[in-house]
């Protein structure tokens, strides 16, 4: 299929919902074949089946990004089904809302396990394959957050998990630039997805919480998953061939203040 991503094979983690699902649709519409990986079996299988029913090359994979075995298997599925792996969108993540004084030891471990360790494992297994394949190379895009760039109250375990992947992006970009692998990070502002809805519910004042979030964005609204997907597709494509190590806010001006 033609398009900016024609002939490329992508793995997207957290593809059952929100930004990951929107990016799967975007990648497919631009010509990529996509492995849609997620821990929610029913949801990811339903979404991949829906896209495949339209004749698009999408397959579902049930996996947990905190498992190195599962991340190895995800790469194997991409190679078995589509022949190689050109793009990783390390997107799976979980949110957290609350003050540090209320956060438990388990809150820290759980959020860091998915948002930081999960990205580390997905990137490691994908890059191992990208280095070895013929021809070598690839594009890794990590989903960070404005919380990885600025102090935002009430995100004690979440913000450090995103700070970790921002720095992982820079480090991997420098390490693999000369070997044909680009590594970039998108840092979304608030985006209307299920993780945001869960954060609103946890806040105890959903409408006040949303109004506070909107007020932080100079553009005067929160973002859409498709707006993040558009930035990810650009970074994944050869149009971004001289871009590596970039930390791209997609945030309606949040971090420009
Ligand atoms: N929505 C926002 O406002 C916002 C803002 C900035 C960054 N982000 C980041 O964007 C990414 C996607 O978030 P979203 O808003 O689309 O949320 P979402 O909850 O809609 O989607 C996240 C997906 O990740 C999956 N997932 C969670 N844990 C997993 C695991 N261990 N293994 C595999 N899959 C797992 C979930 O099942 C879900 O399908 C996250 O990393 C999030 O931190 C979101």
What pLDDT was estimated at residue 200?
A: 85
Nearest to 160 by CA among 171, 170, 151: 151
Active site residue 254: no
Give the ranges where 37-189 is alpha helix by DSSP (H).
41-53, 68-82, 105-112, 118-132, 158-176
With a Cβ cut-off of 6 Å, ligand 1 is lined by 13-14, 16-20, 38-40, 63-66, 91-94, 114, 118, 143, 145, 188, 190-191, 193-196
Best probe residue, ligand 1, of 12, 19, 141 (max atoms within 8 Å of C-beta):
19
Provide block-wise average pLDDT over 10 residues at a time, the chain (257 residues). 90 98 98 98 98 97 98 98 98 92 97 98 98 97 98 92 98 98 98 86 88 95 98 98 98 97
Q: In order of start, what are the domains of the chain with their CATH numbers? A: 9-256 (3.40.50.720)
CA 167 to ligand 1 centroid distance, Å: 19
CA 200 to ligand 1 centroid distance, Å: 15
CA 165 to ligand 1 centroid distance, Å: 14
- Residue 146 Cα: closest atom of ligand 1: 6
Best probe residue, ligand 1, of 13, 14, 161 (max atoms within 8 Å of C-beta):
14
Q: Which residues pair with 141 in a beta bridge?
A: 89, 184
Query: Residue 142 — φ and ψ, nearest 5°?
Result: -105, 140
CA torsion 199-204-209-211 (nearest 10°) is: 130
- Residue 192 Cα: closest atom of ligand 1: 1
Q: Would you give the DSSP letter of residue 151?
A: -
Q: Which residues contact 209 (CB under 8 A, 6 or more apart)?
A: 97, 199, 200, 203
Report which secondary-structure segment, H or E, holds 235: helix 225-236
What pLDDT was estimated at residue 76?
A: 98
Best probe residue, ligand 1, of 68, 71, 147, 193 (max atoms within 8 Å of C-beta):
193
Residue pointed to by tokens 């540090």: 100
Angle between helices 118-132 and 158-176 (to 10 degrees): 20
Q: State the number of CA atoms in the 13 A half-sphere of 215 facing the CB.
A: 7
């Amino acid at each position: 299929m033609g398009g900016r991503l024609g002939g490329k094979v992508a793995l997207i983690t957290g593809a059952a919902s929100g930004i990951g699902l929107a990016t799967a649709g975007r990648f497919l519409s631009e010509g990529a074949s996509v492995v849609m990986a997620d821990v929610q079996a029913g949801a990811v299988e339903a979404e991949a089946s829906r896209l495949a029913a339209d004749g698009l090359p999408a397959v579902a994979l049930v996996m947990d990004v905190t498992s190195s075995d599962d991340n190895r298997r995800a790469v194997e599925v991409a190679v078995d089904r589509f022949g190689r792996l050109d793009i990783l969108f390390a997107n799976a993540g979980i949110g957290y809302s609350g003050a540090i004084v209320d956060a438990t030891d388990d809150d820290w471990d759980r959020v860091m396990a998915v948002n930081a360790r999960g990205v580390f494992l997905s990137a490691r297994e994908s890059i191992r394959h990208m280095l070895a394949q013929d021809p070598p190379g690839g594009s890794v895009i990590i989903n960070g957050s404005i919380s990885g760039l600025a102090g935002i109250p009430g995100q004690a375990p979440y913000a450090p998990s995103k700070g970790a992947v921002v720095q992982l992006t820079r480090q991997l970009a420098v390490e693999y630039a000369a070997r044909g692998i680009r590594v970039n990070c998108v840092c979304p502002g608030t985006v209307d997805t299920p993780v945001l809805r869960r954060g609103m519910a946890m806040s105890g004042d959903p409408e006040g919480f949303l109004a506070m979030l909107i007020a932080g964005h100079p553009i005067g609204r929160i973002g859409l998953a498709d707006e993040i997907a558009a930035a990810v597709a650009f970074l994944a494509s050869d149009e971004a061939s001289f871009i590596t190590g970039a930390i791209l806010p997609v945030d309606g001006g949040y971090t420009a203040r």
